[in-house]
Amino acid sequence: MTIAAVLLGGWTTHIANHRMERQRNAHTMLTRWDDRKLDAYADYVDQVRSCIYASVLLYEVRQGMREIERSEQELTLALADAEGSRGRAFERVMLLAEDGVVEAAHALNGAAHAIDWRARGVTEGSLDEWRELHRAAFKAINQFHEAARDDLGVSGSFHGDAQGARDLVLPRARPESED
């Protein structure tokens, strides 16, 4: 009887240790993927913002709102480079993200492309329409943030138009004498 109790105790300890090890490995893998997702999501938003900044420079130079030492061609090439980086970051998100984040990334990509196209002159519109493209893009960024936070299990949230307008820097209007 004593031998059976010792064997049963050893077997129970072995099973318990095995299950705990599996749980620890599963947690480690989940944490590893969360770290990669966080990096991919942050990089994507950073690349989107870089594209927007490059688009603003090109747009303002093309519209005569700003003068800088770089030519329109150089600014167009810089925008193309930024778009390439954004595209690679977008692909990383597509590989790692859950459905809600994927949908938010597609919406954000569309909003960012609209800004790029306007900056290049592919689409036309007024300064007010240009500003509306930026509002839409920053709203899409906030929606992407929300989806990413949900995917990563980050508690808390921010909603509403006031949040999106806090950091929105829009191009200044041209003086009336220049219209």
Residue 30 has pLDDT above 90, yes or no: no
How much is the pLDDT for 170? 53
Structure tokens of 139?
């709203």
What percent of the chain is predicted at pLDDT more than 70? 82
pTM for the full predicted model: 0.74
Question: How far does CA 118 lie from the centroid of its chain?
Answer: 21
**Average pLDDT over the chain, rounded to whole?**
85
Mean pLDDT in residue range 11-39? 74
The model's pLDDT over 50-90, given as tens digits with 9 standing for 90+, comes to: 999 999 999 999 999 999 999 999 999 999 999 999 999 99
Question: How far is 29 from 38, CA to CA, in rounded Å?
Answer: 14
DSSP string, 120-175: HTSS---HHHHHHHHHHHHHHHHHHHHHHHHHHT------SHHHHHHT--PPPPPP
Query: Does residue 96 contact residue 40 with C-beta atoms inside 8 Å?
Result: yes
pLDDT digits (tens, 9 = 90+) for 113-133: 999 999 999 999 999 999 999
Q: Which amino acid is at 175?
A: P
Q: Are 64 and 178 in contact (CB under 8 A)?
A: yes
Sequence length of the chain is 179
Query: Which domains does the chain show, CATH number per domain?
Result: 30-170 (1.20.120)
3-state SS assignment for residue 126: coil
